Amino acid sequence: MELINTLGIDVGLLITQALNFGLLLIVLTYLLYKPILRVIDDRKERVRKSIEDAKHLEVSVKEMEKTRVARLQEMDREAKEFLEAAKKQAEASKKEIVDRAQREVDQLLEKGKMQLESERKKLLSDLQKTVSDLSVTLASKILEREFSDADQQRLLASIEKEVPALLR
């Protein structure tokens, strides 16, 4: 103890200061250190939870992206199928319209041919009637006056040449 006295240390003051330091250490431990540790632990837990949530969100985003890509591919496939079906339907409609138009054209052509044939027959009938009338008229004129044999031969040859050309 003498050494302590020679150094000028007051033992009572040293013990009081040691007790004050211990008391301050206990008070600071309960009032500051433990609450600060609790806040730090809470913060660590929130950071860990945030990181975990971010990982879950990242996984969710990846899954949603995969789902979105798959859905887009499905929509593309459906759109292509729809377009193909529409194209086939348009082709079928086009073919039907062309076929109908072709049938109408064929009917019109057939009707035109029938009308032409009818008019040809009518013209031939009219021509025959005209030739008959002409023949009757010629015969009556011939009977009105006399022809020589040479005149009759010439007239018959002329009629034989003209009548076939008129009948065509």
Could you tell me which residues come within 8 angstroms of residue 138 by beta carbon, excluding any fewer than 6 positions away?
155, 159
Distance separating alpha carbons of residues 152 and 158, to the nearest angstrom: 10
Contacts of 4 by beta carbon, 8 Å cutoff, 6+ apart: 11
pTM over 0.75: no
Name the pLDDT band for 136 (thresholds 50, 70, 90).
confident
* Half-sphere exposure at residue 81, Cβ-oriented, CA atoms within 13 angstroms: 6
Has residue 168 got a pLDDT over 60? Answer: no
Which amino acid, one-letter code, is at 119? Answer: E
Q: Give exposure, 140-154, as e/b (b: 16+ Cβ within 10 Å).
A: eeeeeeeeeeeeeee
Residue 145 has pLDDT above 70, yes or no: no
State the Cα–Cα distance between residues 74 and 80, nearest whole angstrom: 10
Where do we find the tokens 């013209």? 123
One-letter amino acid of 102: Q
Query: 81-134: per-residue pLDDT in tens?
Result: 999 999 999 999 999 999 999 999 999 999 999 999 999 899 888 888 887 777
pLDDT at 142: 66
Query: CA-CA distance, 109 to 32, in Å (whole number)?
Result: 111
